[in-house]
């Protein structure tokens, strides 16, 4: 087909002898062919998009299923771990209770055995203590008289283990009872003197004063406390309470006077 040039536009040289209807029909056929081609392209694109969307949805579902599976596995593992922890804690609590019970039983047995031993020891010490007390009194008395004489006392009467009784029992006992005219010194003698012994001697002196007053005895009563051993601070406590203190000094005993002797 030859082309003719009209200015800058090339016009196809249609075969001669074609009618307008034929040319128009050709153009229409070409347009229909292009339209069909566009539709096919659009269909393919739509199909591809659908397939892609379906693939993405399938992947999302698979991912969700995997996540759910992982969460379930984690929950199962956590539950197992919690059950194991609870089991261990329960076993530990049972072991602790058993150990405490065993320790309590052992402690009770030890206390019972200790009480039994202390009881036997106290009984033996009580018997031995009476002998020791008498021995200390024998040692204290001779030099004590000289010591008190130096302090201005001149005892005319000395007695041991003076007991004061009511209708049923002994309510008071004094180890050494020293009398000097209008004054009386009540001496308590211990092998080992404690603060509690000092407090007891104060109560003993209060009772002694009450008994003496009830009998019309108006003499002045003083207290003294002696021992082979004084616990720490006990000697100072006794002196502070107004007692004379009788303590060992070499082969003999000394009498220490308080700054202000207490009179009952």
Average pLDDT over residues 79-100: 86
Question: Do residues 161 and 173 lie in contact, with contact meaning Cβ atoms separated by under 8 Å?
Answer: yes
Q: Rounded to the nearest 10 degrees, how much is the dihedral formed by the CA atoms of 60, 63, 67, 73?
A: 140
Provide the pLDDT for residue 118.
Answer: 44
Mean pLDDT calculated for residue range 178-185: 91
What's the topology of domain 136-256?
A: Trna Endonuclease; Chain: A, domain 1 (3.40.1350)
- For the stretch 141-167, pLDDT in tens is 667 788 888 999 988 888 888 887 776
Convert the pLDDT of each residue in 116-129 to its tens digit: 654 553 444 344 34
Whether pLDDT at 7 is above 80: no
Counting Cα atoms < 13 Å in the Cβ hemisphere of 205 gives 23
The strands making up 157-165's β-sheet, listed across from edge to edge, are 157-165, 170-180, 183-193, 220-230, 244-249, 252-256
- Label residue 22 by pLDDT band (50, 70, 90): confident
How far apart, in whole angstroms, are the C-alpha atoms of residue 190 and residue 211?
24
Q: Is the pTM of this model over 0.75?
A: no
pLDDT of 88 strictly over 60: yes
Confirm if 248 and 211 have CB atoms less than 8 A apart.
no
User: What tens digit of pLDDT does each residue of 221-252 get?
Assistant: 999 998 888 888 999 999 999 999 998 877 77
Q: What angle do CA 165, 169, 173 make, to 5 degrees?
A: 50
- How many CB atoms neighbour CB 96 within 10 A? 10
User: What was the pLDDT predicted at 125?
Assistant: 39
Instruction: Give which of 135, 142, 157 is closest to 219, Cα–Cα.
Output: 157
**Banded pLDDT at 201 (limits 50, 70, 90):** very high
Nearest to 246 by CA among 147, 174, 138: 147
Q: What number is the average pLDDT over the span 47-63?
A: 85
Instruction: Answer yes or no: are the C-beta atoms of 178 and 184 closer than 8 Å.
Output: yes
């Amino acid at each position: 087909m030859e082309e003719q040039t009209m200015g800058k536009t090339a016009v196809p040289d249609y075969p001669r002898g074609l009618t307008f209807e034929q040319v128009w029909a050709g153009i229409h056929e070409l347009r229909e062919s292009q339209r069909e081609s566009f539709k096919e392209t659009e269909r393919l694109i739509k199909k591809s998009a659908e397939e892609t969307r379906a693939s993405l949805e399938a992947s999302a579902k698979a991912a969700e299923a995997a996540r759910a599976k992982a969460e379930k596995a984690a929950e199962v593992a956590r539950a197992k771990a919690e059950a194991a922890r609870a089991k261990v804690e329960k076993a530990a609590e049972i072991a602790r209770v058993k150990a405490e019970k065993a320790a309590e039983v052992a402690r009770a047995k030890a206390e019972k055995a200790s009480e039994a031993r202390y009881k036997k020891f106290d009984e033996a010490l009580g018997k031995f203590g009476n002998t020791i007390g008498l021995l200390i009194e024998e040692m204290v008395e001779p030099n004590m008289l000289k010591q008190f004489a130096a302090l201005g006392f001149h005892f005319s009467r000395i007695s041991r283990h003076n007991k004061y009784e009511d209708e049923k029992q002994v309510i008071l006992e004094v180890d050494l009872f020293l009398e000097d005219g209008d004054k009386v010194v009540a001496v308590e003698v211990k092998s080992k003197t404690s603060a509690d012994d000092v407090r007891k001697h104060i109560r003993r002196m209060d009772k002694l004063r009450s008994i003496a007053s009830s009998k019309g005895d108006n003499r002045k009563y003083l207290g003294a406390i002696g021992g082979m051993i004084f616990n720490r601070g006990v000697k100072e406590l006794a002196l502070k309470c107004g007692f004379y203190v009788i303590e060992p000094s070499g082969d003999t005993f000394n009498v220490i006077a308080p700054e202000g002797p207490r009179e009952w």
